[in-house]
Structure 1
Amino acid sequence: MTFTRKAIAACLLPLSMAACTSTEKPATVSTVKPVEKAPAPFPSTYKAYPGVATAIRNVTIYDGEGGKIDNGVVFMSGGKISSVGGPDTPIPADIAVFDGAGKYVTPGIIDIHSHLGDYPTPSVEAHSDGNEATSPTTPEVWAEHSVWPQDPGFSRALANGGVTSLQILPGSANLMGGRSVVLKNVYSRTIQGMKFPGAPYGLKMACGENPKRVYGTKGRMPSTRMGNLAVNRQTWIKAQEYRKKRDSGKEFTRDLGMETLAGVLDGEISIQNHCYRADEMALVLDMAKEFGYKVAAFHHAVESYKIADLLRDNGVCSAVWADWWGFKMEAYDAIPENAAILQNSGACVIIHSDDENQIQRLNQEAAKAQADGRRMGIQISDAEVIKWLTYNPAKALGIADKTGSLKPGKMADVVLWNGNPLSVYSRPEMVWIDGALMYDAKDPKRRPVSDFELGQPGEGDVK
């Protein structure tokens, strides 16, 4: 398939995408009786690009769940992984076969923390759509309603980083910043056309310096960490009351923010929590127990190593950097061995980006974190480190049954690397999404390019 402008337009006619909600100042929409759930607004219209049955043979395979196969075969058909095995794995006749001698295959990389689209490139004020910094709690907003599908960062993440899925989050100015959305990293004219089918929504929350700095300087609450917790708890109390009214069978007034929070309390929306300090993460876990919800992952989490056992026992993942630190006080006590200590303690580790450039080299970030652990005597296999980029983020996003590892029946989201993916010298050679070859380093035409990147016509071209 060639990604010309006409071809893209033809392929994308059926595509489209979905939604997210929020709270605080009640956004009254209508008064309804809760008879049955209405269809979700802004539904995903994602349809996989066309692909062909394909086998990759003679490759080193990291299956995404900690397994490794030497001289293996990956076979995909109908957009799914059909089989993964050793050199004796049968390959059907009359299919596309790639010989990967000396090369490596992994599942597609998943970035659990991205702002592509809601802080797109070029980074100008007009594109700053990630923070609704008008109230400490804005669960009524949905990140997908800010995402610009033509952000050139999407294709960079695909081609340079092998990223096949990613979660787009609102920013962290707010205690409750709004709903996140999970995308398939394909070119589409609409955000609905990128929306990962069946992926749960997330609620972005933030603790620490950002909310108290943004609102405290305006003379508003919160201005302290205790204010952060107080506003959060009071808002969850309101959400409990709203949920009770919703379930009572009586008429109630819809509130977009409270719908999101009630969805969290129902267990349908995951909590993705920006948090740096260990003491605050512990407080958030206690608050989650108080109101009966679960935190899926702490993001940034530079002090997770201090409470690795607590995070392990509560089943909470830490989405971390390899070595970013010191850019504010709550990031000061970071250590480069954070990920390794978490892994060694049996806790869930994820390497994330939070950056339009770092998303292009998450494999290198994971390798740095692995090496930092090795220097302190913690040995973590390459196959296990790949899990930080594939299965673990899929698990924290609630999509591990669909993607994140090379298991038969899962989406054929696959990267062929030209060398060990944990080497600084390696990069993606081919990337498949749902079995469709979306990038080929040897074929310049097989790379999605947004209309924005095609430039503007000169005066002589304007009719």
Structure 2
Amino acid sequence: TYDLSITGEVSKPKAEVKQDTLKLTSKLSYDGDWVTMSVTTSDRDTYRMTARVNADSDNLSGKLILPNGDNSQFTAMRKEGPSNSSSEKGDGDSEVPKVMPLKFPNVGYGYTEKRKAEDMLFRNATVWTGEDEGVLENTDVLVRNGKISKIGKNLNAGSATVIDASGKHLTAGIIDEHSHIAGLAINEAGQNSSAEVKMTDVVDPSDMDLYRNLAGGVTTVQLLHGSANPIGGRSAILRLKWGESADQLIFENMPKFIKFALGENVKQSNWSSFNRFPQTRMGVEQVFVNYFQRAKEYQAMKDSGKPYRYDEEMEVLVEILRGERFISCHSYVQSEINMLMKVAEKFNFRVNTFTHILEGYKVADKMAEHGVGGSTFSDWWAYKYEVNDAIPYNAAIMASQGVTVAINSDDAEMSRRLNQEAGKTVKYGGMTEEEAWKMVTLNPAKLLHIDDRVGSIKEGKEADLVLWNAHPLSVYAKAEKTIIQGTTYFDLQEDKALREAIKKERSELVRMMLDEKDGGSKMQRPAQRKKERFNCDSL
């Protein structure tokens, strides 16, 4: 308990708080029947209180915020009447300003030190291999040097950390073929082709959605350019290594990709913009034909040995013609899907992936013949006109025709629960649970040409793993550990500790700001700096 003495005028009250004979630093204000007070102990812990004055009571009761940020209650009981005495707050000893510790990354939920790889043995897990072996019960998985070393029963751990996975499910990390998290910009929209720009130049390693996606079991994403133009920018395939630099997030020796787009966005139907070609779907087709013809002529000039002007944009398009760079194409309606496949066949190359592809079920046989994959939503539609014909059976129908199908997000929130999105294909289309799970692991790895390294649990592959507390397709499943190349970048128990540490740090920062204000420092109004969440049509 503490002794509280309130003196001064009603408009300018003063408070003195003592713990026994020790006087504590305090501050009190009164406005509109509300009392706000802060008390700082000798340990530099600050308690903040708010209470409403009740005319029918001599006591004060209200909300108390503890130094660790937790909420509680307080009661101040009146002991005696008003006094004319007053006390002045003495000057305290000067202190060296406290510097908060550096985090990796230096934002909320950053780690105090960078994550390190470790050898580990998962004991008695239900292992979803994603391979011909299927789902293995009561199985051990040994991870050494960032790779899956052995799969079997009663494996020798050696010096590896043993993790009891009894009753839990171990899967490959989720891969999102279509994402816009960790990007500082998405659309270079000023012209109809922006093949010269690279998403690797705008990677944001401190984006909180990296951490949130790890909590949902996501280990790899393709950061795509937006869909403002028919020929977009070059993609970045990222590993979600929370706490590392932008360069360290980029997938080693990543295959080359580029974003193409069709439909309403590229002809600017919904942007009220009428000053850029194309403005119609027939114009979109002509953009592709014109640019690929220019690329052929550019390469012919290079091959001739004659002097030529280096053109970054043309160099990228030539890579497509040679099969060295792959296209992920934003698409919706069947007419345009057919159109781009025919343009590709005219110039003797193949489209790699149609993303969104909500009318893919109408042309699945033609897609299989062309050799293009589909990366779609499970059941997201009705957000613009060209998605009117979407159905939840789309993924299953395309898969039934031999198309490699993935479920993607295009959304920072949906990507946190892609495991549940995959589960919907069991209901809509009768996919088996194993085939459904492949739609967010092995199949997107195939579409991104990284399935030799990630996407399934196989000896020799990289240890991108997730330990779930329940069936991974369940809405109740939580990722307990998310591991990339043998390094744990998310741990559910560590997350709980981080939350407590953040509450304490927030409270300490508030106390420091109050001290600054008491010391007469210049104040400024708080301003929220909230990062925009991007999607395909973000400008």
Instruction: Tell me the TM-score normalized by structure 2.
Output: 0.70
One of 424, 439, 443 as aligned partner of 1:388 = 439
Q: 1:108 aligns with which of 168, 173, 177?
A: 173
Tell me the CA shift for residue 236 of structure 1: 0.8
Please give the alpha-carbon distance, in whole angstroms, between the structure 2 residues aligned to 1:426 and 1:315.
Answer: 35
* 1:325-376 CA-partner distances (Å, limit 9, x unpaired): 12112111000111111222222110000001001000001111221113xx
8 Å contact from structure 1 (residues 440, 447) kept in 2: no
Of the candidates 444, 449, 455, which is equivalent to residue 404 of structure 1? 455
Counterpart in the other structure of 1:81: 148
Seen in structure 2, the aligned counterparts of structure 1 residues 184 and 63 have a Cα distance that, compared at 3 Å, is: same
The DSSP-based 3-state class of the residue aligned with 1:204 is strand
Counterpart of 2:470, as a letter, is G
Cα distance, 1:429–1:204 mapped onto 2, change above 3 Å: same
CA contact (8 A) 1:216 1:223 kept: no
Query: CA offsets, 1:23-48, max 9 Å, x none?
Result: xxxxxxxxxxxxxxxxxxxxxxxxx9
Aligned pair partner of 1:138 in 174, 178, 194: 194
| Greater relative CO, 1 or 2 (CA 8 Å, sep 6+) | 1
8 Å Cα contact 2:131-2:456 kept in structure 1: yes
Report the AA paired with residue 442 of structure 1.
Q
Say if 2:264 is the partner of 1:209.
yes
Name whichever of 99-108 and 339-348 sits farther off: 339-348
Deviation at 1:409, TM superposition (A): 1.5
Q: Which amino acid is 1:390 matched to?
A: T
Matches within 5 A, 1:55-94: 55-65=121-131, 67-85=134-152, 87-88=153-154, 90-94=155-159
Cα offset, 1:390, TM superposition:
0.9
Q: What is residue 52 of structure 1 aligned with on the other side?
A: 118
CA contact (8 A) 2:374 2:404 kept: yes
* Pairing 1:188-227 to 2, within 5 Å after superposition: 188=243, 190-213=245-268, 217-227=273-283
How many Å separate the matches in 1 of 2:497 and 2:143?
19
Q: Structure 1: 5+ residue runs without aligned partners?
A: 11-47, 119-126, 375-379
RMSD: 2.5
**How many Å apart are 1:91 and its aligned residue?**
2.5
Does the CA contact (< 8 Å) of 2:126 and 2:137 recur in 1? yes
CA distance in 1, matches of 2:170, 2:301: 51
Where do 1:144-223 residues align within 5 Å?
Answer: 144-159=200-215, 161-188=216-243, 190-213=245-268, 217-223=273-279
State the SS of the aligned residue for 1:253.
coil
Any residues of structure 2 matched to 1:357-396 within 5 Å, and which? 357-374=413-430, 380-396=431-447
Partner of 1:422: 473
Change (3 A) 1:133 1:420: same
Question: Residue 286 of structure 2 aligns with which residue?
Answer: 230
- Deviations, residues 118-151 of structure 1 (Å, cap 9, x unaligned): 2xxxxxxxx6x21111011111111222232211
Residue 245 of structure 1 and its aligned partner are, at CA, apart by 2.6
| Post-superposition offset of 1:152 | 0.7
Q: Which moved more, 1:66-75 or 1:231-240?
A: 66-75
Alpha-carbon distance in 2 for matches of 1:201, 1:149: 21
Question: How far off its partner does 1:225 sit?
Answer: 0.6
Contact 1:155 1:447 in 2 (8 A): no
Structure 1 contact 337–372 (Cα < 8 Å) conserved: yes
Q: Any idea what the Cα deviations from partners look like across 1:135-188, whole Å, max 9, x if unmatched?
A: 1111111122223221111110001x1111100011101101110110110125
Q: Is the 8 A contact 1:202 1:271 kept in 2?
A: yes
Matched, 1:8 2:74: no
Q: Deviations over 1:50-97 (max 9, x none)?
A: 222111121111112462211112111000111223x35x22323211
Aligned to 1:299: 355
- Say if 1:177 and 1:203, in contact at 8 Å, map to a contact too: yes
Gap change, CA 1:5 and 1:317, over 3 Å in 2: farther
**Matches of 2:272 and 2:191, distance apart in 1:** 11
Q: Which residue of 1 aligns with 2:486?
A: 435
Measured in 2, the distance between the counterparts of 1:9 and 1:132 equals 27
What is the CA distance between 1:240 and its match in structure 2?
A: 1.3
TM-superposed CA distance for 1:447, in Å, is 7.5
Aligned to 1:30: none
CA distance in 2, matches of 1:244, 1:6: 54
What is the identity, as a one-letter code, of the residue corresponding to 2:487? A
Gaps of 5+ in 2: 1-99, 107-113, 523-539
Q: Residue 74 of structure 1 contacts residue 83 of structure 1 at CA under 8 Å; is this kept in 2? A: yes
How has the CA–CA distance of structure 1 residues 5 and 315 changed in structure 2, closer, same or farther, with 3 Å as cutoff? farther
Deviations 1:395-426 (A, max 9, x none): 11111111111111111100001110100000
Structure-2 residue corresponding to 1:98: 163
Give the structure with higher Rg (CA).
Answer: 2
Q: Is residue 439–residue 446 contact of structure 1 (8 Å, CA) maintained in 2?
A: no
SS across alignment from 1:437: strand
1:200-223: CA deviation from partner (whole Å, max 9, x where unpaired): 121100011111126883233211
Report the CA distance between 1:247 and its aligned residue: 3.5
8 Å CA contact retained: 2:378, 2:395? yes
Residues 278/137 of structure 1: CA separation in 2 closer, same or farther (3 Å cut): same
Greater CA drift, 348-357 or 436-445: 436-445
Q: Note the 1:217-296 alignment, pairs <5 A.
A: 217-296=273-352
Which amino acid in 2 is paired with 1:81? I
CA deviation after TM superposition for structure 1 residue 191, in Å: 2.0
Q: C-alpha distance in 1, partners of 2:498/2:401?
A: 41
Distance 1:216 1:335, change over 3 A: same
Q: SS of 1:227's equivalent?
A: helix
Distance 1:445 1:6, change over 3 A: farther
Q: How many pairs align?
A: 402
Please tell me whether the aligned partners of residues 358 and 391 of structure 2 are also in contact (alpha carbons under 8 angstroms).
yes
CA contact (8 A) 1:323 1:369 kept: no
Identity of aligned residues (%): 39
